Amino acid sequence: MASSREVKTELLELLEGLCEERLTADQFARLEHLVVKSRSARKLYLDYIHLHGTLLWDAAQSDGVILTNSNESSRARTRSVDSPHVSEESLAKQESVVSVGLGNASRWRGKKRSWSIALSAVVCLSLLTVLVWQWEDSTPTDAQLAEVPQNPSDQDPMYDVPREPAPYYRPFPIDRSIAADGTKETPVVAVIPPESDTLPLDMVAFVDQGLQDSWTVAGVTPSVVADDTEWLRRVYLDLVGQIPSASEVERFLADGSPGKRKRIIDQLLSSEGFDRHFATVWTNLLVGRSNPRIGNRNSLFQYLRNAFAENQPWDATVAAFISAEGSIDANPAANFLVAHLNNQAVPATAITARVFLSTQVQCMQCHNHPFNDWTQQDFWEMNSFFQQTKMVRNEEGKPTLVSESIGGPTLFETRNGLMKAAYPKYLERQIPDESSVNRRKEFARLIAEGKEPQLALAFVNRTWAQLLGAGFTNPIDDMGPHNPPSHPEILQTLSRGFVASGYDVKALVRWITSTKAYQLSSRVNETNGIDDPATGEMPLFSRAYTKPMTVEQVYDSLIVATRSEGTDSQLALRDKWVSQFVRTYETDENDESIHFQGSVPAALALMNGEVVKDSLDPQPGTTLHQALAAPGGDEVKLQSLAIATLNRRLAEQEVAAFRRLIRQQISAAPAPLRKRVAAEAYQDAFWALLNSGEFVTVP
């Protein structure tokens, strides 16, 4: 599909050499060869030439100033897009030259032809002279140079020592023959990037250092470390999909020993809640919440739950889904493809690519990708891996996956009506298309090959985003050459480590949650306001990005918040509750939309009956009952409600505001009813806390 990274690295080096006119004859020939051979190389070449040429042209046109969009530089000019590069005066100049020419020509009409030709040549030459004059009259003046600091190394560590380059960019070995003054320069040994086989001993420290470097380069300081309550709520929601209970919060706050965060991570990773939460997330990714074709969603969920509980290697899990055979009873993993085999396995192809490989291929069903060099052919080559698969009903009428022994190509039609053939091929590796070859098994094998396959990059990016609130690449399922990651070295190293660990999911999650970035608060400081992936900026991870809770997290958290004894929500009830918000769309991807934007009032309004009444009814066993029954004044009651819902203590002014309202209600009531009114007032306070935006946010 995409050109291999080594070729791209080499090509980038050669293009750099071309721009600086440092290519040897061999390198030149190599560049030619690469560009002629491949369309993607040609595209890269043209983009580079455009960049280089535009910078040259602009500099020549405007006294050495490069066109920028900012108004910082006093020398920057604003220009309308369509205006010619030549300024208005010179255009007028040319026109006056032309009109002079016209005037002269009319005078000379009827004279010998050669006069007219000479005249037009003069006109042409003077026009050219004007253009050339524009070009040459732009050497930077001394005044301009003086504005520049003479020793940039004093200002910026970047210029001091050649930085350790990114793993996929190697600097040029120096070519002695091009020394400007004719002297031989001492050869500088090119800095070789770290061997791709060696992994850092301490993955977390590597990630921390990499992020810190990016903060330094960007000139931001990271936000403060999140305080205990902020952090605990986040890690609970991220790892087990529900808020901590009041007693869990109290226990954490009371723990003064070092390493308590690490202990919580370990505890949560080995809890059932982790399996449940990750199984929920991945069931939703694989089959959605409402797919009508799904056989048995619950058994798929249970399969995933077991897989996470046993820490089954991720590549084995993916292989199980992709190459599943048999009835959904015998093999719950078959539910995945059963849900998407409609429409010639087009959804299966698209979803497999998007969910497991984080690549968007669905539009390539009909045409080439608009922003990179993937083609329609690539889509159908991937689709042909699924062509042997059929869904049938077995004797009990249950959906069953069978692989038929068929071979040969998949036929598809291009936009101009041409029929083409696609053979099962993934990333230049074609498998034999005989009917005896089990294509899905081969596909599952191919996508997990290598030290750093896209399967690993995709899972790392997705999991990072799940925990940190943004991926290295965003959108997280749209990776590709058209969408480069924010921190390629970190993404790649984490992925290689993930592969080397045997696709160990819990190890990856442990690394990520142990990084410094995961400890930070979401509070912005003076320097990192720009770090805001929600606005489309590349994330720096210099602060936490808050996330809205998912529907399931809201439900589970409501249960935790309202019951004083820990009980896990009942999954059947949860699914029923969730289904109120979901609507299915019939698209090529079996899309669905969910109407829940993290708004509790909407949720509570739609929940009729049990959960609402139960949560507000101060029966024994509920949070409300416990708060009301315990000894202590207003503040004590309010704080216990807050800890149970927002997982933090209220600030002074918040307590004051609540108390004011409660007091008002009580004093307005006649004496015999005061106790009852007080209870209702606390109910209202509890309701307000549950309704707040803060409740449905992952901090």
Partner 1 sequence: MTSLDQFDSDLEIRSYTPENTGPGPEFVQEFTRNQRRLYLYILAQVGRPTDAEEILQETNLVVWRKSAQFEPGTSFFAWTSRVALFEVLKHRERRARDKLRFSPEFVESVAEEALEASENWEERRKALSICMGKLRPQDRELIRRRYSPGENGISVAEDLGRPINAVYQSLGRIRRALMECVNRQLSAMASQ
Using CB under 8 A as the binding rule, the residues of this chain from 519 to 548 that contact partner 1 are: 536
Min. distance of Cβ 520 from partner 1 in angstroms?
24
Query: Closer to partner 1 at the Cβ: 482 or 506?
Result: 482
Tell me the chain's radius of gyration from C-alpha atoms: 33
| DSSP result, 222-264 | PPPBPPHHHHHHHHHHHHHSSPPPHHHHHHHHH--STTHHHHH
The four Cα atoms 491, 494, 496, 499 give a dihedral, to 10 degrees, of: -120
Query: Closer to partner 1 at the Cβ: 482 or 574?
Result: 482
667 CB contacts (<8 Å, ≥6 apart)? none
Query: Closer to partner 1 at the Cβ: 27 or 584?
Result: 27
Q: Report the distance separating Cα 341 and Cα 673, nearest Å.
A: 64
The four Cα atoms 195, 198, 203, 206 give a dihedral, to 10 degrees, of: -30
Phi and psi at 640, nearest 5°, equal -70, -30
Size of the site for partner 1 (CB under 8 A): 105
Token pair listed for 658: 């609540």
Phi and psi at 583, nearest 5°, equal -130, 140
Which of helix, strand or coil describes residue 538? Answer: coil
Q: H or E segment at 603?
A: helix 600-606
Q: Report the distance separating Cα 551 and Cα 557, nearest Å.
A: 10
327, β-bridge pairs: 400
From candidates 4, 118, 121, 202, binder to partner 1 by CB under 8 A: 121
CA angle, 670 then 675 then 680, to 5°: 100
Interface stretch with partner 1, choices 66-74, 232-240, 353-361, 458-466 (CB under 8 A): 66-74
From candidates 118, 133, 146, 158, binder to partner 1 by CB under 8 A: 158
**Residue in the block written with tokens 């690519």:** 353
From candidates 6, 69, 397, 670, binder to partner 1 by CB under 8 A: 69
Question: Site map for partner 1, 476-515, x if CB under 8 A?
Answer: ------xxx-------------------------------
- Cα dihedral sign, 547-553-554-558: negative
161 touches partner 1 by CB under 8 A: yes
Q: Maximum distance among all alpha carbons in the chain?
A: 120
Of 249, 257, 237, the residue nearest 550 (C-alpha)? 237
Question: Site map for partner 1, 216-235, x if CB under 8 A?
Answer: ---x----------------
Q: Are 376 and 367 in contact (CB under 8 A)?
A: yes
Q: Report the distance separating Cα 344 and Cα 204, nearest Å.
A: 44
- Amino acid identity at 603: A
52 touches partner 1 by CB under 8 A: yes
DSSP state of 480: B
CA distances from 618 to 97, 383, 489, 662 (A): 92, 57, 54, 17
From candidates 7, 10, 30, 81, binder to partner 1 by CB under 8 A: 81
Token pair listed for 468: 């940190």
Query: Closer to partner 1 at the Cβ: 8 or 648?
Result: 8
Interface stretch with partner 1, choices 21-29, 422-430, 498-506, 621-629 (CB under 8 A): 21-29
From candidates 4, 5, 50, 673, binder to partner 1 by CB under 8 A: 50
Q: H or E segment at 686?
A: helix 674-691
Query: Closer to partner 1 at the Cβ: 484 or 693?
Result: 484
30 touches partner 1 by CB under 8 A: no
Q: Are 279 and 315 in contact (CB under 8 A)?
A: no
Cis amide bond preceding 548, omega within 30: no
Interface stretch with partner 1, choices 15-23, 422-430, 554-562, 670-678 (CB under 8 A): 15-23
Size (the chain), residues: 699
Which of helix, strand or coil describes residue 449? Answer: coil
- Amino acid identity at 397: G
Min. distance of Cβ 119 from partner 1 in angstroms?
8
Query: Closer to partner 1 at the Cβ: 79 or 390?
Result: 79
591 touches partner 1 by CB under 8 A: no
Min. distance of Cβ 127 from partner 1 in angstroms?
7
Interface stretch with partner 1, choices 61-69, 444-452, 549-557, 615-623 (CB under 8 A): 61-69
Q: Report the distance separating Cα 440 and Cα 386, nearest Å.
A: 6
Enumerate residues 600-639 that contact partner 1 by CB under 8 A: none
Question: Site map for partner 1, 327-366, x if CB under 8 A?
Answer: ----------------------------------------
Of 495, 531, 494, the residue nearest 514 (C-alpha)? 494
From candidates 68, 216, 247, 579, binder to partner 1 by CB under 8 A: 68
Min. distance of Cβ 138 from partner 1 in angstroms?
6
Q: Are 8 and 44 in contact (CB under 8 A)?
A: yes
E strands, 488-581, where? 547-548
162 touches partner 1 by CB under 8 A: yes
From candidates 5, 56, 227, 411, binder to partner 1 by CB under 8 A: 56
Min. distance of Cβ 162 from partner 1 in angstroms?
5
Query: Closer to partner 1 at the Cβ: 370 or 631?
Result: 370
Query: Closer to partner 1 at the Cβ: 44 or 348?
Result: 44
Q: How many CB atoms lie within 10 A of CB 143?
A: 7
Query: Closer to partner 1 at the Cβ: 174 or 661?
Result: 174
From candidates 371, 402, 450, 675, binder to partner 1 by CB under 8 A: 371
272 touches partner 1 by CB under 8 A: no
Enumerate residues 288-307 that contact partner 1 by CB under 8 A: none
From candidates 7, 10, 43, 510, binder to partner 1 by CB under 8 A: 43
Q: Are 349 and 382 in contact (CB under 8 A)?
A: yes
What region does 21 belong to: left with phi over 0, alpha with psi -120 to 50, or beta?
A: left
Enumerate residues 100-119 that contact partner 1 by CB under 8 A: 101-102, 105-106, 109-111, 113, 116-117, 119
Query: Closer to partner 1 at the Cβ: 120 or 343?
Result: 120
Min. distance of Cβ 463 from partner 1 in angstroms?
23
Question: Site map for partner 1, 127-146, x if CB under 8 A?
Answer: xx--xx--xx-xxx----x-
88 touches partner 1 by CB under 8 A: no
55 touches partner 1 by CB under 8 A: yes
Question: Site map for partner 1, 425-454, x if CB under 8 A?
Answer: ------------------------------
Min. distance of Cβ 476 from partner 1 in angstroms?
15
Q: Are 491 and 457 in contact (CB under 8 A)?
A: yes
Min. distance of Cβ 306 from partner 1 in angstroms?
40
Query: Closer to partner 1 at the Cβ: 95 or 272?
Result: 95
36 touches partner 1 by CB under 8 A: yes
Q: Report the distance separating Cα 374 and Cα 349, nearest Å.
A: 15
Min. distance of Cβ 321 from partner 1 in angstroms?
30
Query: Closer to partner 1 at the Cβ: 140 or 409?
Result: 140
Min. distance of Cβ 315 from partner 1 in angstroms?
30
